[in-house]
Amino acid sequence: MEQVNGNRRTLYLHFGVHRTATTAIQATMFANRDTLRRSGFLHALGVKRHIGLFNSIFAGKQSVAHAAETLLEEADAQDCDIHSLILSDEAVSKRPDLGLLAGFRDHFDVKVVIALRRQDLWLESWWAQNVKGQWDRKLCHTPWPDFMANREQFHWIDYDRYINHLEEVFGEGSVLPYVFERGQMPDGPIAAFCNAIGFANFAELRKAGGENISLTPETSEFVRHLPFIDAPMKLRLQLIRMAEAVDRQIREQDATTLMIPWEERRRIMDGYAEGNRNVARRFMGREELFLDTLPDPSAPVKTPSLPDDATQTMQRLVVPFMQELVAHFRDK
C-alpha cells in the first residue's frame, strides 16, 4: 500500500553530508524507533544506517522497485499508521550520479535531507576522519598537502551543484537543506534533522551514539602512517580508541585544530561563494549561507606533521600509544 489515509507516504532520504553528526542522528533514530513510529515515522529495516541497501541497489543486486516494495510492506505491517519512512546513508552523497534512485518517486513522495557544513571546516574534518577511521585506501594514508591539492574530487560539497543534481533526480522542491552551524542549530544537530523531517517531539528522544571527534593535526599525522585499515573492524575500533587517548594528552599541550592558513581558507571559500549564495537565496531568503565568520587571521594554525626530533616523536606519540596498547592487553 503506497498510501496512508489517502496520501502517498513520504520517504526521507538522509544523505549526510559527512561530518555533520550523521552517526549520532542514525543512532538516535534507531534507538527511538518506537517513539518515532507512534508519531508515524518509520526508521526502516531495523538498522541504524542503510548503507547495505544503497550499496545493493548501486551494485545491481536489488532494484529500487523491490526495495520500495520491502519498505511499503514493513510500513503496512506496523500497528499504527506510518506516513513517513526514513533511510539514512551519508556515503550516497559521494556517488556522482544518483539517477538510479529516481524510481523511488514511483512509490513515495521523496524528500532528501542534507546538512551543509562550511567547506573549509569540512575539508579539515574530512581529512582527519579518513586518516583516523581508515576505511578508504585512497585517502587513509594521503598526506594533507596531497589531499588539499585534489579536493575537487569531493564534488558533493559544491552544495549548489549537488542540490541541482538531487532535484534533477527527485524533482524540484525535493531537497531539505539545513546549515550545520551551532548558531543555526540552537537545539543541536539531532533537533535540526527532526525539524527538517517535521518531527516536532525531538525533546522526547533519548540521545544515542557518541561524538565522533577529529584528532588534532599532530595525532592525525601519526595515525596516518599506521595500518589501521588492515586490522579487523573490532581491533581497528580498539586502535582508534587508543589513538584518541593519545590525542587527549596532545590536546593538553596544544589544542590547535585548524590546518588551513587564513589566506588559503579565504580563497577556498571565495571559490564556493557564488554557489553558497545561490543556496542561501533560494532556501534561506538571505545572501549568506554560513553566518559564522572565518577564523581570525591571528588564530593558530598547525600543518599536520610529526615533531622534527625523533626522540620527541617517540615521547609524544609512540610511547603513549604503546602504553595504551599494553594496558589494553594487560587488562584482558
Residues 107 and 74 in one domain: yes
82 in a structural domain: yes
pLDDT value at position 7? 81
Q: Could you give the CA distance from residue 231 to residue 239 in angstroms, rounded to a whole number?
A: 9
pLDDT value at position 1? 61
Residues 174 and 249 in one domain: no
Residues 227 and 113 in one domain: no
147 in a structural domain: no
Question: Are 156 and 94 within 8 A, CB to CB?
Answer: yes
pLDDT value at position 332? 73
pLDDT value at position 210? 78
pLDDT value at position 285? 98
Q: What pTM did the predictor assign?
A: 0.95
Residues 81 and 54 in one domain: yes
93 in a structural domain: yes
Pairing of strands 41-43, 7-8: unpaired
* 3-state secondary structure (DSSP) of residue 220: helix
Number of domains in the chain: 2
Residues 186 and 57 in one domain: yes
87 in a structural domain: yes
264 in a structural domain: no
| Averaged pLDDT, groups of 10, the chain, 332 residues long | 73 98 97 97 98 98 98 98 98 98 98 98 98 97 98 98 98 98 97 98 92 94 98 96 97 96 98 98 98 97 97 98 94 78
Residues 105 and 238 in one domain: no
Residues 76 and 197 in one domain: yes
Residue 135 CA: distances (Å) to CA of 97, 153, 227, 233, 256:
22, 17, 11, 10, 25
Residues 190 and 313 in one domain: no
274, with CB counted inside 10 A (0-12, 13-18, 19+), is exposed
Question: Are 228 and 294 within 8 A, CB to CB?
Answer: no
318 in a structural domain: yes
CATH number at 58 reads 3.40.50
Residues 113 and 225 in one domain: no
Residues 228 and 113 in one domain: no
pLDDT value at position 331? 82
Q: Could you give the CA distance from residue 97 to residue 89 in angstroms, rounded to a whole number?
A: 15
Residues 200 and 307 in one domain: no
Structural domain harbouring 317:
217-256+302-331
Residues 248 and 191 in one domain: no
269 in a structural domain: no
271 in a structural domain: no
Bridge partners of 3, per DSSP, are 8
According to DSSP, residue 298 is labeled T
Query: Which pairs from 34-40 meet CB under 8 Å and 24+ separation?
Result: 35/201, 35/204, 35/205, 36/86, 36/199, 37/78, 37/80, 37/82, 38/80, 39/199, 39/201, 40/4, 40/80, 40/81, 40/82, 40/83, 40/84
Pairing of strands 7-8, 3-4: antiparallel
pLDDT value at position 212? 86
pLDDT value at position 234? 95
